[in-house]
Amino acid sequence: MQQTAAGMIFVLVGPSGSGKDTVLNWLRTRLAGQADILFVRRIVTRISDAHHEDHETMSEEAFHQSRDSGAFALNWRAHDLHYAIPVSVIDHLDTGGLAIVNGSRRTLTKMEAVFADLQIIHLDVDTAVLAERLAHRRRDSDTSLTARLAQGALKFKARTPVIHVSNNGPVEIAGRHILDLIESRRPGGPARINR
């Protein structure tokens, strides 16, 4: 299923440690109660916990069944896990709504094939800041710090222009930048947003 060009999806990407979940949570509090804004909960074959994004957990069997029944707009595999975006996102966009999702740089080409109007936002973080964040939050399941920093330098392909937002400092700086971007793309003008 492909989305028509009514609404726009904002895809937030960046290396592990760039602060995607932190920025998304900051935006969520500012855009709470706005019916035209959808924060997409990805489906992941991983148990939800305090260390990861807010997502819907599925077993691999349930994931494959849902995929085969057409419940996903998009699905992919990464880090030995399955990820998906629910097809309900397309319904929201087709009515002119805006959606915001934690994306993956490796899936941008697939996203461009599904979503008619998307805006890629890449969180840029200096290597030293990234290394400090990764070391601070390190978990036993993490690969080596060197490997994760190498992943941070991943080159990605996208036909869609990419907006780069620095997230080296307080979340409010990057958050306000993205909030202004969302406001500017909102049909009918800006909404009342709690800054």
- Does some domain include residue 31? yes
d(CA 10, CA 122): 10
Higher pLDDT pick, 51 / 111 = 111
- Does some domain include residue 80? no
- Does some domain include residue 96? yes
d(CA 80, CA 165): 29
Give the count of domains, the chain. 1
Full residue range of the structural domain in which residue 153 is found: 8-40+92-184
In this predicted structure, the answer to whether residue 100 has a pLDDT above a threshold of 90 is: yes
State the CATH number of the domain containing residue 147.
Answer: 3.40.50.300
Whole-prediction pTM: 0.82
pLDDT of residue 154: 61
**In the chain, what are the helix, strand and coil shares in percent, each to the nearest 5?**
35, 20, 45
pLDDT of residue 106: 86
- Does some domain include residue 152? yes
- Does some domain include residue 118? yes
In this predicted structure, the answer to whether residue 55 has a pLDDT above a threshold of 60 is: yes
- Does some domain include residue 100? yes
HSE (CB half, 13 Å, CA atoms) of 131? 6
Instruction: Return all residues near 144 (Cβ < 8 A) that are at least 6 apart.
Output: none
- Does some domain include residue 62? no
d(CA 40, CA 69): 20
- Does some domain include residue 178? yes
- Please write the tens of the pLDDT for every residue from 127-180: 888 888 777 765 444 456 566 655 555 667 778 889 999 999 999 999 999 999
d(CA 85, CA 76): 9
